[in-house]
Amino acid sequence: MRKKLFLNLVLIALFIVIASSAETFEFKMDFENEDADTDARSILDLTDYFQVTLAGPSPVAVVVEDGDNKYLSLQGYMEFFTYDLIKPPYTFSVDVQLVDTDIAFFVRSYEPITKFNPAYGGGKDNRIGYFEADWYKENGGQNCDTSQGSSGIMVMPRADALRVAIKTYETDGINIGHRFYDFPYPEGIDISKFFNLKFVDDGEKVEIYLNNEKVSTITMSDPGTYDEELVFEEENYTYFKTAIIHDAEGNEMLKVENSRLNPESSQLAIGIRNEAVNIDNLAFTYEFEPTPTPDPTPTTEPATEPDTENPPTGDDGFGFVTVLSFATAAAVLYKKRKILKI
């Protein structure tokens, strides 16, 4: 019993030190410091973290000034996605004002895969990006309609509902499909005005919020691979195969057992298929372990008496002192208990 108490105190001390070493990265873009009509691809604070790709005839992605607010107006074929795959826990948030639908927001995605597409231009290699159709029905798929993107949880604000979709592996088409459940908008949501869409991912589940009101939770499990032919990837991705879409109260609404969800991280993305939408306050935060600073190269100095009066005051010193203090306290307690017993 005494040994167990001693070990527990030491473990608590170690946990405090480890937990205190985690840091939080925060990205937020509100466009207030940008000039009106600035092209999104020219905003360095944005493109430092997001790839911005415009395609098709005359796409538009510019800053618009409306009274005392500035936002990004998007129209055409385009995609925004993070260069990095973000590991949980993280939060992804964006203010959205719908002009059209067919706008999709992605989490738990991989880099888009490239498939040979028989229905595309007589048969070509086709990168299935976030604004790109998955060409499911066009290649004979029978299980669902064509959607967009190749993996991830896909949320699409529609005219009368918030569509929560899971990208899937299919045995027909070119193996990419989706399943979805439509949730009614919470009371007070006006899609013609800006509303906030937020994803909160803790590593085991993804929660979806509108104006900070929970709409759905997706739980994920059963990592594995699918047997499919890819053009460039050396090996098939591992996916969470099972995803369950729940409502805000936790009731199961849809279970998908052929999911394509990244089990370890997320490429955060927005995909627009020749439609229009306005976005503002694009943000994401995540926790990370800082890279340890290498110890400086030791130099020869004149021998001096060691200073034992002042322990280190930096983070490492705090961690060492914390562990030492807890361990000493535990040892003293253990010794006292032993003496009292004698």
> Whole-angstrom Cα distance, residue 177 to residue 146?
7
Q: Is the pLDDT of residue 307 over 60?
A: no
Q: Which secondary structure element, helix H or strand E, spans residue 317, and what is its range?
A: helix 315-341
What is the value of pTM for the model shown? Answer: 0.81
Tokens of 143: 């299980």
Matching residue, tokens 């207030």: 32
Integer Cα distance of 197 and 154 in angstroms: 12
Which pLDDT does position 126 carry in this prediction? 97
Phi, psi of 166 (to 5 degrees): -120, 125
CA separation for the pair 16, 124 (Å, rounded): 55
- pLDDT at position 4 over 60: no
How high does pLDDT run on average in the chain?
Answer: 87
DSSP run (H or E) holding 323: helix 315-341
12-26, 75-89, 163-177, 183-197: segment of lowest average pLDDT: 12-26
CA-based end-to-end distance of the chain: 16
Q: Give yes or no for a contact between 278 and 69, defined as CB atoms under 8 angstroms apart.
A: no
| Structure-token match 């098709």, residue found | 56
| Residue 17 pLDDT greater than 60, yes or no | no
In sequence order, the β-bridge partners of residue 47 are none
**Residues 320, 326, 327, 328, Cα dihedral to 10°:** 100
Q: What is the mean pLDDT of residues 177-183?
A: 99
Torsion, CA 62, CA 67, CA 190, CA 59, rounded to 10: -10
